[in-house]
C-alpha cells in the first residue's frame, strides 16, 4: 500500500485531534483507507502505533507487531507482557501469535517465560522456522538464539496480588483449576488479552494476539490466544477475528475460525461475532454471561464489528480519520 508521507502526518494529527470518543457498534468503512481494531481500552494506543507503523513501513504485519508491543511494554496492562499476571506458581508465562491473511503464514509461542515481547518471538517463529508453534523452554531457547533480551516480567504489584491469592487459596477447598479464573471481568479496568487485527488500503489483512493468560492458571496451561483458529484467525480472502476472555470457552469451539467462516457465508462482522457467542452458549447449555468470551472482527470490505458477554468489554477502532473506543454488542 502507498501512503503519502505528508498525508500520513495529516492522519496522525487528525487522530490526535479526535482523541477518544465513545462510539457505538460497527459501521461501513471506506476500504481505501487502513483500519486497525483491538480489544480493550489499551488497544487504542496499540492501534495508533499500528497505523503509524503502516505509514512508515507499508507492512501490515509490522503494524500488527509494533502495535501489540505497545501493550506488552506497558507494566500497567496487567494481563499482557511486562506486568502480566503470573501462574499459580508465581511465574509469568506468556502466549502470543501472529498471522498473515494473504499467505496464511503464522507463528505462535506459548508458556514463554522471561521475554517481554512474545509477539515478536512469534513472528520470528513464522519467518525463521518451518514450524508454527513453539512452547516453554524450546520457545525461550529460540528467543535467546534470535537475540531477544530476557528480563524479569513479574512486577512488585503482581507479586503482591499473587501472594494474596495464595493466602486465600490456602483457606479454600476444591481443585486449583476452578479457582484459576480471571478476577478482572466486568471491573472498570477490564485489563485483558490484546487481539489486534488490521487491513491496509490495498486489502492486506493480518492479526496478532498476546496475553499472560488467565491469572493463576495451572503452570503449563495454554489458552486460546496463541492457538490459530481460537484466539485469532485471519483469512485474506474473508477477514480476521480475535478473542479475549476465558480461553477454554473459546478454544473448544475454534471461536475465531468460526467467526471468519460465518463472515465467508455472508454475515457482517458484528453478526458473525454474535452468532459465534450464541452458538457456543447453546452448545454448552450456558447463559452467554457465564461464558466470559468477547470477540472482534473485520472483513475484506473494511467493515468492523464486535460482540461480547462482558459488560465492560470495549474495542479500539483506529483509521486515518479517527481513533476511538466503541461499546460492542452485548450478548447476555
In this structure, which long-range contacts are made by residues 73-79, counting pairs with CB atoms below 8 Å and at least 24 apart in sequence?
73/116, 73/117, 74/42, 75/155, 77/42, 77/191, 77/194, 78/157, 78/158, 78/184, 78/189, 78/191, 79/182, 79/184, 79/191, 79/192, 79/193, 79/211, 79/212, 79/213, 79/215
Write down the least CB distance from residue 296 to ligand SD4, Å. Answer: 12
Among 51, 64, 77, 214, binds ligand SD4 (CB under 6 A): 214
Among 55, 83, 118, 245, binds ligand SD4 (CB under 6 A): 245
User: Applying CB under 6 A, does 109 fall inside the site for ligand SD4?
Assistant: no
270 is catalytic: no
**Closer by beta carbon to ligand SD4, 224 or else 261:** 224
Total binding residues toward ligand SD4, as defined by CB under 6 A: 13
Among 120, 211, 270, 319, binds ligand SD4 (CB under 6 A): 211
User: Applying CB under 6 A, does 182 fall inside the site for ligand SD4?
Assistant: yes
User: Applying CB under 6 A, does 213 fall inside the site for ligand SD4?
Assistant: yes
Catalytic residue among 39, 53, 155, 193: 193
Write out the three cell numbers for 225: 490466544
User: Applying CB under 6 A, does 312 fall inside the site for ligand SD4?
Assistant: no
Element (H, E) at 271: helix 269-284
User: Applying CB under 6 A, does 67 fall inside the site for ligand SD4?
Assistant: no
Strand partners, 110: 135
Write down the least CB distance from residue 294 to ligand SD4, Å. Answer: 8
**Closer by beta carbon to ligand SD4, 47 or else 60:** 47
Write out the three cell numbers for 68: 501489540
Distance of CA 309 to the CA centre of its chain: 16
As a three-state string, the secondary structure of 26-84 is CECCCCCCCEEEEECCCHHHHHHHHHHHHHHHCCHHHHHHHHHHHHHHCCCCCCCCCCC
Among 46, 77, 85, 246, binds ligand SD4 (CB under 6 A): 246
Write down the least CB distance from residue 157 to ligand SD4, Å. Answer: 18
**Closer by beta carbon to ligand SD4, 3 or else 77:** 77
Write down the least CB distance from residue 287 to ligand SD4, Å. Answer: 18
Strand partners, 297: 241, 305
User: Applying CB under 6 A, does 247 fall inside the site for ligand SD4?
Assistant: yes
Buried b (16+ CB within 10 A) or exposed e, 235-254: bbebbbbbbbbbbbbbbebb
**Which residues are marked as active site?**
193
Would you tell me which residues interact with ligand SD4 (CB under 6 A)? 182, 192-193, 211, 213-214, 223-225, 244-247
Amino acid at each position: 500500500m502507498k501512503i503519502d508521507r505528508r498525508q500520513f502526518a495529516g492522519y496522525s494529527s487528525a487522530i490526535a485531534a479526535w482523541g477518544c470518543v465513545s462510539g457505538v457498534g460497527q459501521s461501513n468503512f471506506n476500504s481505501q483507507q487502513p483500519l486497525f481494531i483491538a480489544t480493550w481500552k489499551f488497544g487504542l494506543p496499540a492501534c495508533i502505533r499500528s497505523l503509524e507503523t503502516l505509514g512508515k513501513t507499508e507492512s501490515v504485519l509490522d503494524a500488527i507487531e509494533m502495535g501489540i508491543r505497545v501493550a506488552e511494554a506497558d507494566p500497567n496492562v496487567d494481563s499482557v507482557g511486562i506486568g502480566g499476571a503470573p501462574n499459580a506458581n508465581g511465574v509469568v508465562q506468556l502466549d502470543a501469535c501472529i498471522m498473515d491473511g494473504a499467505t496464511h503464514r503464522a507463528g505462535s509461542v506459548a508458556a514463554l517465560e522471561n521475554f517481554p515481547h512474545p509477539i515478536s518471538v512469534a513472528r520470528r517463529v513464522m519467518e525463521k522456522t518451518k514450524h508454527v508453534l513453539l512452547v516453554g523452554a524450546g520457545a525461550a531457547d529460540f528467543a535467546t538464539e534470535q537475540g531477544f533480551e530476557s528480563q524479569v516480567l513479574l512486577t512488585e504489584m503482581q507479586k503482591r496480588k499473587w501472594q494474596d491469592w495464595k493466602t486465600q487459596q490456602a483457606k479454600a477447598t476444591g481443585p486449583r483449576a476452578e479457582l484459576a479464573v480471571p478476577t478482572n471481568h466486568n471491573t472498570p479496568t477490564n485489563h485483558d488479552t490484546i487481539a489486534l487485527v488490521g487491513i491496509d488500503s490495498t486489502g492486506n489483512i493480518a492479526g496478532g494476539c498476546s496475553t499472560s493468560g488467565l491469572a493463576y492458571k495451572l503452570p503449563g496451561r495454554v489458552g486460546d490466544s496463541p492457538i490459530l483458529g481460537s484466539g485469532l484467525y485471519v483469512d485474506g480472502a474473508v477477514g480476521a477475528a480475535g478473542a479475549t476472555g476465558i480461553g477454554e470457552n473459546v478454544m473448544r469451539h475454534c471461536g475465531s475460525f468460526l467467526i471468519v467462516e460465518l463472515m465467508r457465508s455472508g454475515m457482517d462482522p458484528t453478526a458473525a461475532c454474535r452468532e459465534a457467542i450464541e452458538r457456543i452458549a447453546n452448545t454448552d447449555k450456558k447463559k452467554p454471561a457465564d461464558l466470559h468470551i468477547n470477540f472482534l472482527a473485520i472483513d475484506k470490505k473494511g467493515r468492523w464489528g464486535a460482540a461480547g458477554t462482558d459488560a465492560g468489554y470495549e474495542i479500539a477502532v483506529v483509521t486515518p480519520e479517527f481513533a476511538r473506543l466503541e461499546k460492542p454488542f452485548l450478548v447476555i
